[in-house]
Every structure is written in structure tokens, then in C-alpha cells.
């Protein structure tokens, strides 16, 4: 083994395939770091994206999810600075270099600038430190084909947020529990504008090789319960990217968060103690339904006491589909519980059925599908090799996940690509999910 190879032994543990390509990726990044920031010590951090097997839009309702960490990731090279500036570069030229001072109140950069994730992390870390913060020189490495595809429902934003958070917290000697780290990252994404949940940050930190993670998103005594569940032998999770990009900073996502909160507000008349939809999970849906209107105006909901003030883009004249949105959350939590049972029993047929049922609920009740995803779903549902399939992630584009027989996955990938290209003119990226380990500091070396 050469001296250079010794630095990269961690690659064999993390990546199951194309290790030589990964080595080249890391080496090129180190060279670029040196040319941007000069010689010296460099820490390398990595945070994976995720595919969510089942449990969509349940996390911010304190419900159940079942994500898998991917081997597609964001890598951040970092060095502490003597001042409190953050200098941010990216291996991809489209992301412009920028720098800012880390204060308690960092202004958002306009037009959804990519640096906002770093700004969010830096500001919220500053709030947590009782001493002056150290700035950093950072280089972000998340280019295709190794990075998490962006806007594809695979949590590219959270993998970026987590990798930057690990860098800044390590350089500043801040050690938090997993729940505290998750909270910091989640606060950072709220700063950017998504009123999201904690699933993506948790799985990015806690993912395990060859496993999905069942996660209960309700905090108990300041931490979360999770359980790794082995992925079924002989079956693959095939990911198909529709190429239709989505963004959560805006109406679609946040209005659904609002509809769920409205449901909680209305159910409080019968169940005064509840704070999230999860708190009525054990109540049969038939009992809940009569208390939830099909549609209600935001102005009426706020007049009745539901707090929706912090939801970006929500206007008083907006109409929220409260009943259908709550029904999805309630039924999806049941499906996740069914999926755990099916996985433990090795009942892939049942697991597949639950995935397909989750898609219908996401499409009809949560209304987060789109024409391109429906084309993919109708094709996948007809394939003998597919046990079940669904849209994954926030929706409105992004990816499908199909549970497929391993011996047929490659053929299926080619067939779905050909069909989709013929129908839409879009070349869909497809890949088999390699469940990877969670985020961390990989190594420290000198360039
Ligand atoms: P994606 O798919 O990466 O946009 C978003 C939220 C999750 C979760 C899912 C839907 C963030 C950072 N991510 O993920 O928390 O709510 O949608 O299940 O808010």
C-alpha cells in the first residue's frame, strides 16, 4: 500500500463500489483545497443523502419513517480560521465562492443562494456557543456522479447541512448528542425556509450499512428511538430520478405542514393534550374524521386559534385541505408499522404492497405527485420484477423507489429508462441503493 493509499483506507469501509473513482474524487478535492486555501491541516467530513423507503410527510407530525442512508454524499474539507469568517467554495463552478462573518443574526443571501445552508448552521451554532466562534475555510464536494442528486427528494440539502455542521462543530469543539445535532441542522433548514422535520438529518447521521432505519420522530426525554432493520436479501431498492426538480422553500411543502397543524388545532377540542398528529395515532380514523373539515380558510383557522404565523408564503385567503392531509399522515404511520413487521417476517410481498399503497395515499390524499411520477409508477406497477413502488421524498418530482427482484434490477433499470425517455424525452438516472453508514469525520491530514 502506498503512503497516499494509507490516507484513504476509510474509502473501502464506506463505499461498496467504485472505490478507485472515489479515491480520485477525494484526491482532486484535496488539491483544490490546497490551491484555494494554502498548505496545512485539512479535516474531511462526509454526510450521506437518503432514500425514504416508506413514511412520507410524517416526520414533522412526530410520526414514523423508514429511511436508508445512500452512498451518494456531500463531502466537506475544512480548516479552522483564526477569525470568525466563513469562507465557502465548491468544486462545482456554478456555486460561487462566498464569505461572511459568523454572527448571531446572519442575513439570508437572496435567491435561495446555496450558502444559506452554511449561514443557517453558523448562526445556530453561534447561538449555542458561550465563547467566540472560530470561522473556517470550507470546500464542498458533491458533484455527480458521487454527490446526492439535487432537488430529487434524496435529501441533498440535509446532507450539505449535516456535513457543514459536523465541520463547524468539530472545529469549535461543540459536542452535542445526536438529538442536539439533529436539532441544530433542522434549525438551519428552518432558517433557509423549510418547515420540515428531522428525518433527513437523523438518517444522515445515524445510517447503517445494509440497513434501513425505523425512526420514531417524536422526541422522548430529549432523544429519538430508532432501530436498524436489515434490508431484504435478494431484493434491491431501485431509485429512478424523474429529472423533475422540486424545492421545498415555498408553498407546496409548507402549506401541507400548515394543514397538519390545522388538524391538530381542530382536534384539540376533543383531545386537549395533543401537540402533533402523532398524538392521535391510536385513535381510529373514523373517530377523527368528523372533526376535520375537507377544506378551511387560513383566516378562519387562525381566528380559531391555530398558530400559522411562522409558515412562509401562507396567506389568510389560502384554503387548506385539512381532512385529506391528516388522513394521509394517519394511514402512512400505519403503513410504516406494517412495513417493519413485514421486513422482520421477510414478507417482501407485503412490503411491496405497502409501498404501492403509500404511493396512492401520497398521490390522492397528500397530492404531491405529478404527471412524470405517475408515468413511472404506472410502468413500474406492471413489471413482474417489481414488488411495489412509490414516489419518495417530498414529492412534486424527484425520485421513485421500486422494490425489485435483484436478478432483474439491471434489466428493469434499462426498461424503465427506455419507456420514460420515449414518453417524456427525459433521460432518467437510475441506480440501485447501496445502504451506507452515517456521517462523520473521516480523516485529518496535511496538504
Ligand atoms: P426532501 O425529500 O429531501 O425534500 C423533505 C423534508 C423531510 C420530510 C420529507 C417528506 C426537510 C429538510 N426535508 O425531504 O423532513 O418531511 O420532505 O417526507 O425538510
pLDDT, tens digit, 9 for 90 and up, residues 245-264: 876 655 788 899 999 999 99
Ligand 1 lining (C-beta closer than 6 Å): 52, 56-57, 59-60, 153, 155, 157-158, 189, 194, 196-197, 199-200, 248, 393-394
pLDDT tier, 194 (very low <50, low <70, confident <90, very high otherwise):
confident
Residue 116: CB atoms within 10 A of its CB come to 23
Determine the Cα–Cα distance for residues 318 and 180; give it in Å rounded to an integer. 34
CB 121 within 8 Å of CB 188: yes
Position with higher pLDDT, 310 vs 156: 156
CA 60 to ligand 1 centroid distance, Å: 9
Say whether pLDDT at 414 is over 90.
Answer: yes
pLDDT tens per residue across span 30-85: 999 999 999 999 999 999 999 999 999 999 999 999 999 999 999 999 999 999 99
Can you give the pLDDT at residue 425?
97
CA 99 to ligand 1 centroid distance, Å: 27
CA 85 to ligand 1 centroid distance, Å: 30
CB 201 within 8 Å of CB 182: yes
pLDDT tens per residue across span 225-235: 999 999 989 99
pLDDT tier, 6 (very low <50, low <70, confident <90, very high otherwise):
confident
Q: Which residues are catalytic?
A: 200
Q: How does DSSP assign 370-428, residue by residue?
A: -HHHHHHHHHHHT-TTEEEEEEESS-SSSEEEEEEEGGGHHHHHHHHHHHHHHHHS---
Determine the Cα–Cα distance for residues 397 and 391; give it in Å rounded to an integer. 8
Q: Which of 419, 403, 284, 296 is nearest to 348 (CA)?
A: 403
Can you give the pLDDT at residue 4?
58
CB 191 within 8 Å of CB 163: no
Can you give the pLDDT at residue 55?
98
Coil/strand/helix, residue 106: coil
pLDDT tier, 278 (very low <50, low <70, confident <90, very high otherwise):
very high
pLDDT, average across residues 97-121 = 96
Supply the angle between the helices 371-381 and 409-424 in degrees, to the nearest 10.
140
Give 166's contacts (C-beta < 8 A, 6+ positions apart).
Answer: 45, 47, 76, 439, 440, 441
pLDDT tier, 310 (very low <50, low <70, confident <90, very high otherwise):
confident
Can you give the pLDDT at residue 177?
96
User: What's the farthest any 2 CA atoms get from each other in the chain?
Assistant: 69
Q: Does the predicted TM-score (pTM) go above 0.85?
A: yes
Question: Which of 112, 200, 204, 392 for a ligand 1 pocket mutation test, highest count of atoms within 8 Å of Cβ?
Answer: 200
**DSSP 8-state assignment for residue 133:** P
Residue located nearest, by CA, to atom 15 of ligand 1: 197
pLDDT tier, 408 (very low <50, low <70, confident <90, very high otherwise):
very high
pLDDT tier, 313 (very low <50, low <70, confident <90, very high otherwise):
confident
For the record, the C-alpha cell of 7 comes out as 490516507
Can you give the pLDDT at residue 2?
58
CA 188 to ligand 1 centroid distance, Å: 14
The CATH number given to 249-351 is 1.20.1440.340
Give the mean pLDDT of the chain.
95
Residue located nearest, by CA, to atom 8 of ligand 1: 57
The ligand 1 atom nearest the CA atom of 156: 3
CATH of 5-231+435-446, one of 3.40.50.800, 3.30.230.10, 2.120.10.70, 2.130.10.10: 3.30.230.10
User: Where along the chain do its domains lie?
Assistant: 5-231+435-446, 249-351
Report in angstroms the alpha-carbon separations of 311 from 254, 255, 294: 6, 8, 20
pLDDT, average across residues 416-431 = 97
Q: Which of 339, 316, 188, 312 is nearest to 250 (CA)?
A: 312
The ligand 1 atom nearest the CA atom of 395: 2
pLDDT, average across residues 384-411 = 97
Can you give the pLDDT at residue 249?
57
Percent of the chain scored above 70 by pLDDT? 98
Can you give the pLDDT at residue 43?
98
Amino acid at each position: 500500500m502506498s503512503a497516499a493509499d494509507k490516507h484513504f483506507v476509510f474509502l473501502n469501509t464506506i463505499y461498496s463500489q467504485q472505490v478507485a473513482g472515489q479515491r480520485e474524487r477525494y484526491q482532486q478535492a484535496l488539491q483544490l483545497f490546497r490551491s484555494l486555501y494554502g498548505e496545512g491541516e485539512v479535516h474531511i467530513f462526509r454526510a450521506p443523502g437518503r432514500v425514504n423507503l416508506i413514511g412520507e410527510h410524517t416526520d414533522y407530525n412526530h410520526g414514523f419513517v423508514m429511511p436508508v442512508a445512500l452512498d451518494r454524499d456531500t463531502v466537506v474539507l475544512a480548516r479552522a480560521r483564526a477569525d470568525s469568517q466563513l469562507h465557502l467554495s465548491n468544486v462545482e463552478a456554478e456555486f460561487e465562492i462566498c464569505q461572511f462573518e459568523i454572527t448571531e443574526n446572519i442575513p439570508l443571501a437572496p435567491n435561495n443562494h446555496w450558502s444559506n445552508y452554511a449561514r443557517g448552521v453558523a448562526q445556530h451554532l453561534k447561538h449555542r456557543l458561550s465563547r467566540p466562534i472560530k470561522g473556517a475555510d470550507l470546500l464542498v464536494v458533491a458533484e455527480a456522479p458521487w454527490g446526492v442528486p439535487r432537488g430529487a427528494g434524496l435529501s441533498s440539502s440535509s446532507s450539505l447541512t449535516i456535513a457543514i455542521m459536523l465541520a463547524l462543530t468539530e472545529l469549535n469543539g461543540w459536542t452535542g448528542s445526536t438529538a442536539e445535532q439533529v436539532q441544530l441542522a433542522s434549525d438551519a433548514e428552518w432558517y433557509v425556509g423549510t418547515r420540515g422535520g428531522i428525518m433527513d438529518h437523523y438518517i444522515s447521521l445515524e445510517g447503517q450499512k445494509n440497513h434501513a432505519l425505523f425512526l420514531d420522530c417524536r422526541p422522548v426525554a430529549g432523544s429519538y428511538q430508532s432501530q436498524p432493520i436489515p434490508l431484504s436479501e435478494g431484493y434491491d431498492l431501485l431509485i429512478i430520478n424523474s429529472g423533475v426538480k422540486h424545492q421545498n422553500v415555498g408553498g407546496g411543502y409548507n402549506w401541507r405542514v400548515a394543514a397538519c397543524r390545522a388538524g391538530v388545532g381542530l382536534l384539540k377540542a376533543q383531545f386537549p393534550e395533543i401537540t402533533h398528529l402523532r398524538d392521535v395515532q391510536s385513535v381510529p380514523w373514523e373517530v377523527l374524521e368528523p372533526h376535520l373539515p375537507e377544506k378551511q380558510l387560513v383566516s378562519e383557522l387562525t381566528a380559531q386559534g391555530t398558530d400559522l404565523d411562522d409558515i412562509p408564503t401562507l396567506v389568510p385567503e389560502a384554503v387548506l385541505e385539512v381532512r385529506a392531509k391528516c388522513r394521509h399522515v394517519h394511514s402512512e404511520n400505519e403503513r410504516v408499522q406494517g412495513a417493519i413487521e413485514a421486513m422482520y417476517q421477510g414478507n417482501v410481498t407485503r412490503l411491496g404492497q405497502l409501498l404501492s399503497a403509500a404511493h396512492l395515499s401520497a398521490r390522492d390524499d397528500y397530492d404531491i405527485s405529478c404527471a412524470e411520477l405517475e408515468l413511472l409508477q404506472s410502468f413500474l406497477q406492471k413489471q413482474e420484477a417489481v414488488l411495489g413502488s412509490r414516489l419518495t421524498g417530498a414529492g412534486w418530482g424527484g425520485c421513485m423507489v421500486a422494490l425489485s427482484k435483484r436478478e432483474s434490477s439491471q434489466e428493469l433499470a434499462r426498461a424503465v429508462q427506455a419507456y420514460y425517455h420515449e414518453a417524456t424525452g427525459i433521460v432518467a438516472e437510475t441506480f440501485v441503493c447501496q445502504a451506507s453508514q452515517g456521517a462523520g469525520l473521516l480523516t485529518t491530514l496535511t496538504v
